[in-house]
Amino acid sequence: MNTWLSFLQGGMLDLGPWALVGVTLALTHVTIAAVTLYLHRSQAHRGVDLHPAVAHFFRFWLWLTTGMVTREWVAIHRKHHAKCEREGDPHSPAVFGLAQVFFRGAELYRDEARNAETLARYGHGTPDDWIERRLYGRYNLLGVSLMLILDLALFGVLGLTVWAVQMAWIPFWAAGVVNGLGHAWGYRNFACPDDSTNVAPWGLLIGGEELHNNHHAYGTSAKFSSRWYEFDLGWAYIRILQFLGLAKVRRVAPRLRLRAPESVDVLGQDQLQGIIAHRYEVLARYSGVVKAAVAHELKALKLRHRRGERLLLRRCRKWLVRDDAQLAPREQAQVDRALSLAPALSTLVQMRRELTALWESSSASSEQLLADLRAWCARAQASGIDGLEQFALRLGRYAA
């Protein structure tokens, strides 16, 4: 009886409290690595190829710890990118609200997983072998049940707590934090056409997924960090696997190259290609110009005691750096009213629209795009807006 009670209390390993916490965190981190390396960077975006043994280990581990089916996860994630922040996005705070995504993200995932059209359109190229069809996909709840039995055997009755943490880990961090907070709170390096943010510059806890804005700017890149102070733990794991011959990197974001100011002469094709390749970085810098102009205008309105106009501009300042398609009709109406009161801001917003139209054009030749870019820069330098003039000069430094 004592032996049985001892087994129930500590299981086969009989770990102390802190050791049990450490093991639990280690187990959940393996799950995080499986999601970010296998499901996300390898399967969904093809940024890295994993050795079959590594890929299958991750498949098996995810079957045990999450019950997620590769095809379902990949299809839902690809649809998120295809329809980001618009109707049809499976888990956007802009569509469902932040609270809904944060607290019910896993339920939104399960709802979309039942959509056969989503799986057919976005789930291509995922594993479709015998074990996927006959075991992982068909009996996905069997894996998490086996994990429960294993946890109870290893850790005793506290294994139930370990198992509960494992089951809640991905729904909370991936569905809640990344899909929720990662589109509502944080900082942005790139002005991509969605609300994605970097939740933190150090991607340690969830394997680099914290750098969500960087990922949305360059979706197929295997590396999520972009600034010198950012750290992507998932990328560190990829480099280790690459060194061991267990991974092959297929794509990374292009590295920003700037020519020296004194070497800038006339805008050419090299500058055009560099601007297009780094368009979200370009727009982020342009957003800085707009924000500086807004701050200047707010100060001027305060000195002139124009309280109503100042409140309107303060309310609109975050909308001035967004695409028109992202704004609701009510928001657009307020932006139009604010711009009618500030000619310089109106010029900045209009020229932002024209700049984005350059790389969104699908019919213009490269020669026409270059001519349009030169004309845009000429008008910017003649605008009389200091920030815009400096921005136009910087465009000439981009290189492919």
**Of 341, 351, 370, nearest to 287 (Cα)?**
351
**Of 153, 209, 202, 138, nearest to 179 (Cα)?**
209
Q: Which pair of tokens denotes residue 124?
A: 């291509």
Q: What is the pLDDT of residues 85-97, one digit of tens each?
A: 888 899 888 888 8
Q: Give the span between the Cα atoms of 165 and 65, in whole angstroms.
A: 10
CB 63 within 8 A of CB 237: no
Q: Give the span between the Cα atoms of 303 and 308, in whole angstroms.
A: 13
Q: Give the span between the Cα atoms of 317 and 105, in whole angstroms.
A: 30
Beta bridge partners of residue 399, listed in sequence order: 257
For β-strands 257-258 and 202-203, DSSP reports them as unpaired
Q: Give the span between the Cα atoms of 392 and 371, in whole angstroms.
A: 14
The pLDDT value given to residue 248 = 98
The pLDDT value given to residue 117 = 95
Q: Give the span between the Cα atoms of 11 and 146, in whole angstroms.
A: 16
The pLDDT value given to residue 218 = 96
The residues, any chain, with a CB within 8 Å of residue 243's CB and separated by 6 or more, are none
| Exposed/middle/buried for residue 209 (C-beta within 10 Å: 0-12, 13-18, 19+) | buried
Q: Give the span between the Cα atoms of 48 and 42, in whole angstroms.
A: 5
Q: Which pair of tokens denotes residue 271?
A: 């500058």
The pLDDT value given to residue 97 = 86
| Residue-by-residue pLDDT tens, the chain, 400 positions | 555 556 566 678 888 899 999 999 999 999 999 999 999 999 999 999 999 999 999 999 999 999 999 999 999 999 999 999 888 899 888 888 888 888 888 888 889 999 999 999 999 999 999 999 999 999 989 999 999 999 999 998 999 999 999 999 998 888 888 998 999 899 999 999 899 999 999 999 999 999 999 999 999 999 999 999 999 999 999 999 999 999 999 999 999 888 887 666 678 888 889 999 999 999 999 999 999 999 998 898 888 878 888 898 899 888 888 888 788 889 899 999 989 888 999 999 999 999 998 888 767 788 899 999 999 999 999 999 999 999 999 998 888 7
* Residues counted in the chain: 400
Q: Give the span between the Cα atoms of 234 and 42, in whole angstroms.
A: 12
The residues, any chain, with a CB within 8 Å of residue 343's CB and separated by 6 or more, are none
Q: What is the pLDDT of residues 55-79, one digit of tens each?
A: 999 999 999 999 999 999 999 999 9
| Residue reference for tokens 């896993």 | 106
The pLDDT value given to residue 118 = 95
Q: Give the span between the Cα atoms of 283 and 352, in whole angstroms.
A: 8
The helix (H) or strand (E) run that includes residue 143 is helix 140-155
The pLDDT value given to residue 347 = 94
The pLDDT value given to residue 143 = 96
Beta bridge partners of residue 187, listed in sequence order: 198
| Residue reference for tokens 């267990």 | 246
**Of 69, 63, 74, nearest to 30 (Cα)?**
63
Tell me the Cα Rg of the chain.
25
Q: Give the span between the Cα atoms of 42 and 207, in whole angstroms.
A: 14
For β-strands 48-50 and 247-249, DSSP reports them as antiparallel
- Torsion sign over Cα 322, 389, 392, 351: positive
∠ CA 390-292-386, nearest 5°, is 30
Q: Which pair of tokens denotes residue 348?
A: 């900045």
The pLDDT value given to residue 264 = 62
